[in-house]
Amino acid sequence: MAAAGQTRTVKARLITIAAGFAILAAALALSLAGGTTWAARILGWLDRLRALGALGWVIFVLLQTLVALIGFLPASLLGLAAGAVYGVALGFGLSGIGVLLGAGAAFSLARSALRPAIVRLVARRDGLRRFDAAIMRDGWRLVLLMRVSPVMPFSITSFALGLSGIGWRDYALGTLASLPALALYVTLGALGVQGITALRTGPAWVHLALIGAGLAATLVLTLRIGQLVARAVRIPG
């Protein structure tokens, strides 16, 4: 059952990444087939959201917070949207704030509402007590591994860690590990919009090829960073 659940989660992550490329590819294909109509439409939608100014920032941060808290959408999908609407710097800032707020809210809810019952249960079971102690001993390294793992849903991980005995400091430090990957998703979104804009303004094909290469490189870098971080902080067995 656990293996099946992990397989489904990995597939969901891969689908999210593929969806980002599929959306861009569809937009490019439609733009080429029907002139610049579709490219202009997509850019128009993004411009309307961007035109909300500070109100749009607040709406986006609240949406990202809910996603990180409840998990009804992949957080990476909103990272792509953040880059598309606000660019790399502002998009990463808004998305990162939302992710951290959602992670903190999930941890606080689990810690305040459910942790007391877990403490009583752990006190009666030697195995659970040893497991909880191991989590506290490994601290931020364990949180970091869970955040970069492709089989650990963000919101579920936040609640699970809130039920454990791990402290706020270790939880916060480990959670920061999710931000480099988020930055790369935001970059993917920004590069996608650049490609659509390029079609609208009619540049040379070499420019589009460079944008496509940038998208591919960012995807590879996203996966590679997760592998390197996991290897660097691997907890001795």
pLDDT per position as a tens digit, 122-173 = 667 776 677 677 777 778 888 877 777 656 778 888 888 888 888 899 999 9
Residue 145's pLDDT is 77
Inter-residue contact 139 to 170 (CB < 8 Å): yes
Smallest CA-to-CA distance from 80 within 237, 225, 215, 226 is with: 215
Residue 81's pLDDT is 84
Residue 2's pLDDT is 47
Compute the half-sphere exposure of residue 42: CA atoms within 13 Å on the CB side of its CA.
Answer: 24
Q: What is the pTM of this model?
A: 0.64
**Angle ∠(87,88,90) on CA atoms, nearest 5:** 75
Render the burial of 130-146: b for 16+ CB within 10 Å, e for the rest: eebeebeebbbbbbbbb
Low-confidence residues of the chain, pLDDT below 50?
1-2, 31-32, 34-36, 204, 206-207, 210
- Longest pairwise C-alpha distance within the chain: 70
Residue 213's pLDDT is 57
Residue 90's pLDDT is 93
Please indicate, yes or no, if residue 81 is contained in any of the structural domains.
yes
Smallest CA-to-CA distance from 155 within 98, 222, 89 is with: 98
Q: For residue 81, what are the contacts with CB-CB under 8 A and spacing of at least 6?
A: 60, 189
Residue 166's pLDDT is 86
Task: Tokens for 137, please give them.
Answer: 């001993």
Please indicate, yes or no, if residue 237 is contained in any of the structural domains.
no
Counted domains in the chain: 1
Residue 113's domain comprises: 2-232
